[in-house]
Amino acid sequence: MGIFVVMEGIDGAGKSTQAKMLAEWFNTRGYEVILTKEPTDTAFGKLIRRLVLTGGREGIIDGARISHEAEALLFAADRAEHVHKLIKPALDAGKVVISDRYFYSSLAYQWARGLDLEWLIDLNRFAIRPDLVILLDLPVKESMKRINGRSIKTEFDKIVELQKKVRENYLKLAEMFPEMRIVNAQNSIEDIHKDIVGLIEQEIFGEK
């Protein structure tokens, strides 16, 4: 069995930055690493971007075009393909898999959209549990500064409210799922990387 690590957090928390750095860290230690993300780049991911996300890098879910349930089912369908075609085979081959978002995103975001948390957990029960989930936590104000260029100004207030709810949801989820660890994402990129490596050493390699 390989090693499965997930990065979670609100938009602009630094997930993709830290996922890349962690992938390099494993690489230099001789591991074969699969760096992946959700929504994926498959046909399902493309469908999600077309139907659910209001385009591009802004990371806003419009939700106006399809129902929230349909949205949750699409994310789950994308994830099922992700697990069966990529994650499971890679782990079976002993590789390290690092995913930028996973089912915890569905729990945090679709719950914030008003869906029932238990239903969302049931829907995602097929998803292999990771060895470690890094929750990059920071105030919404800070994340907004980082992704300023990404967001549509007229949607700004709505986005702030949603992101605040999503952040709170993540923190609640961290109390429910023992594989989740909170990392302060307000620090410098290098310091956050060190914290993540510390968690990997502690939780995966059993070092003190």
Ligand X SMILES: Cc1cn([C@H]2C[C@H](O)[C@@H](COP(=O)(O)OP(=O)(O)O)O2)c(=O)[nH]c1=O
Ligand Y SMILES: Nc1ncnc2c1ncn2[C@@H]1O[C@H](COP(=O)(O)OP(=O)(O)O)[C@@H](O)[C@H]1O
Token code pair at residue 125: 């029960």
Say if residue 191 carries a ligand binding annotation: no
Report the residue from 88, 113, 146, 172 that binds ligand Y according to the rule CB under 6 A: 146
Helix (H) or strand (E) holding 3: strand 3-8
| Pick 176 or 189: Cβ nearer ligand Y | 189
Residue 17 touches which of ligand X, ligand Y, none (Cβ within 5-8 Å per kind): ligand Y
Q: Which is nearer to ligand X, 38 or 131 (CB)?
A: 38
Which one of ligand Y, ligand X, none is in contact with 188 (Cβ closer than 5 to 8 A by kind)? ligand Y
* 15 labeled part of a ligand binding site: yes
177, 104 contact by CB (below 8 A): yes
42 belongs to the binding site for ligand X (CB under 6 A): no
Q: Is 17 in the site for ligand Y (CB under 6 A)?
A: yes
Q: Which is nearer to ligand Y, 42 or 186 (CB)?
A: 186
Residue with tokens 């989740």: 180
Window 86-125: contact mask with ligand X (x via CB under 6 A)? ---------------x---xx--xx---------------
| Amino acid residing at 127 | A
Q: Is residue 61 near ligand X by the rule CB under 6 A?
A: yes
Does 14 show up as a binding residue in the annotation?
yes
Does 149 show up as a binding residue in the annotation? no
Rounded to whole angstroms, the Cα distance separating 21 from 107 reads: 26
CA gap 168, 180 in Å, rounded? 14
Q: What's the token pair of residue 51?
A: 């139907």
| Ranges of H-type helices in 93-183 | 103-112, 117-123, 140-146, 156-176
Separation of alpha carbons 128 and 44, rounded Å? 19
Query: Do 22 and 16 meet the contact criterion of CB atoms below 8 Å apart?
Result: no
For residue 30, the minimal CB distance to ligand Y (Å) is 25
Q: Point out which residues bind ligand X (CB under 6 A).
A: 11, 38-39, 53, 57, 59, 61, 75, 101, 105-106, 109-110
